[in-house]
């Protein structure tokens, strides 16, 4: 039984993201499988999604300017009624290829992380897509709850804490399996004005970060950069409406990505 989990709290994402993630998983995994969303509000989620309450914790989630730590709820000795390996997916990823190899790669008792391409000088994992055995990260949760604020300030990002402190050390999925939309799909200037972002051939999951969402990619706009066309985006330079430097403004343009729309749907 393949077990896929996600977590949703608050109103930033909600059932739309959960339902589309489930649909992407269902199209790209060989049954049998379970899809479980740990959430504070199950309303609006399609019936195939198993919903379970957010795991209880006995510590306060720290508040920092960088890093998000509520996923530490998943590190406990128990995780709902699940046991064994689970594959965690962030809600803002899209599934573009078979997930079966992500369950087959490495030993089932290992923590296996996607690679983070943001810092090439640091061997850093990405917890937007990672597999771990239920209870396997309990030592991290125990360390974290002893002083959450200090851990958050020391490591800054939850994925750095998991990468450096996973019991027995983590393994990493092949780099090509998990693509980063901004770094691996977006075209460099000036090709970003001529060509749509590309889907790397071997990508099984594409993750979104850096103020870009799947909806942005479908519409062809870079976050808050809302010019309706390449010509209008360039013309904004002369109207004094650019953000940041001239080069930064020119780089912050993307054309619509039809392949995102094809894969991010119910």
Closest CA to 130 of 154, 161, 153: 161
Q: 114-137 pLDDT, tens per residue?
A: 999 877 778 899 999 999 999 999
Q: What is the pLDDT of residue 168?
A: 94
**Residue 225 clears pLDDT 80, i.e. is over it:** no
Q: Using alpha carbons only, how large is the chain's radius of gyration in Å?
A: 19
- 143 pLDDT higher than 90: yes
E strands in the chain: 2-8, 33-39, 50-53, 85-89, 93-95, 112-115, 125-133, 171-172, 178-180, 205-207
pLDDT tens digits, 82-99: 999 999 999 999 999 999
pLDDT tens, position by position, 148-166: 999 999 999 999 999 999 9
Res 9 pLDDT > 90: yes
The yes-or-no verdict on residue 227 having pLDDT over 90 is no
Q: What is the mean pLDDT of residues 29-58?
A: 97
Give the long-range contacts of residues 58-61, CB within 8 A, separation 24 or more: 58/145, 59/144, 59/145, 59/148, 60/148, 61/148
Cβ neighbours of residue 137 closer than 8 Å, sequence gap 6 or more: 74, 75, 111, 162, 166, 167
pLDDT digits (tens, 9 = 90+) for 176-201: 999 999 999 999 999 999 999 999 99
- Name the H helices within 209-253: 214-219, 230-235, 246-251
Q: Where are the alpha helices (DSSP H) in 95-170?
A: 100-104, 138-146, 148-155, 158-165
Give the Cα separation of 260 and 237 in Å (integer).
29
Predicted confidence (pLDDT) at residue 244 exceeds the cutoff of 90: no
Looking at residue 98, its pLDDT comes to 98
Q: What angle do CA 108, 206, 20 make, to 5 degrees?
A: 90
pLDDT at 224: 77
Confidence (pTM):
0.95
Q: What percent of the chain has pLDDT over 70?
A: 100
Residue 133 has what pLDDT? Answer: 98
In this predicted model, which residue has the larger pLDDT, 245 or 72?
Answer: 72
Question: Mean pLDDT score of the chain, rounded to an integer?
Answer: 94
Locate 156 and state its tokens. 């800054």
Domains, in order of start, for the chain: 2-173 (3.90.550.10), 179-263 (no CATH)
Predicted local distance difference test score (pLDDT) of residue 64: 81
Mean pLDDT of 245-262: 94
Between CA 16 and CA 39, with CA 18 as vertex, the angle to 5 degrees is 115
pLDDT of residue 241 exceeding 90, the answer is no
Mean pLDDT across 9-29: 96
């Amino acid at each position: 039984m393949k077990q896929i989990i996600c977590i949703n709290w608050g109103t930033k994402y909600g059932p739309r993201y959960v339902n589309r993630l489930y649909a992407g998983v269902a199209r790209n995994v060989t049954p049998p499988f379970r899809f479980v969303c740990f959430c504070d509000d199950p309303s609006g989620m399609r019936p195939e999604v198993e919903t379970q309450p957010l795991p209880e914790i006995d510590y306060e989630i720290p508040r920092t300017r960088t890093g998000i730590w509520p996923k530490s709820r998943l590190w406990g000795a128990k995780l709902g009624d699940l046991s064994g390996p689970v594959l965690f997916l962030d809600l803002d990823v899209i599934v573009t290829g078979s997930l079966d190899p992500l369950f087959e790669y490495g030993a089932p008792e290992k923590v296996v992380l996607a690679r983070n391409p943001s810092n090439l000088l640091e061997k850093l994992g990405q917890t937007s897509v990672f597999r771990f055995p239920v209870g396997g990260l309990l030592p991290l949760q125990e360390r974290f709850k002893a002083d959450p604020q200090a851990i958050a300030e020391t490591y800054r990002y939850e994925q750095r804490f998991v990468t450096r402190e996973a019991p027995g050390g983590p393994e990493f999925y092949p780099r090509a399996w998990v693509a980063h939309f901004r770094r691996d799909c977006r075209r460099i200037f000036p090709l970003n004005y001529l060509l749509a972002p590309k889907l790397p051939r071997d990508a099984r999951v594409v993750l979104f970060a850096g103020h870009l969402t799947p909806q942005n990619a479908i519409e062809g706009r870079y976050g808050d950069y809302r010019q309706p066309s390449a010509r209008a985006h360039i013309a904004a330079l002369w109207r004094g409406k650019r953000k940041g430097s001239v080069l930064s403004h020119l780089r912050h343009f993307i054309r619509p990505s039809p392949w995102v729309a094809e894969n991010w749907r119910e």
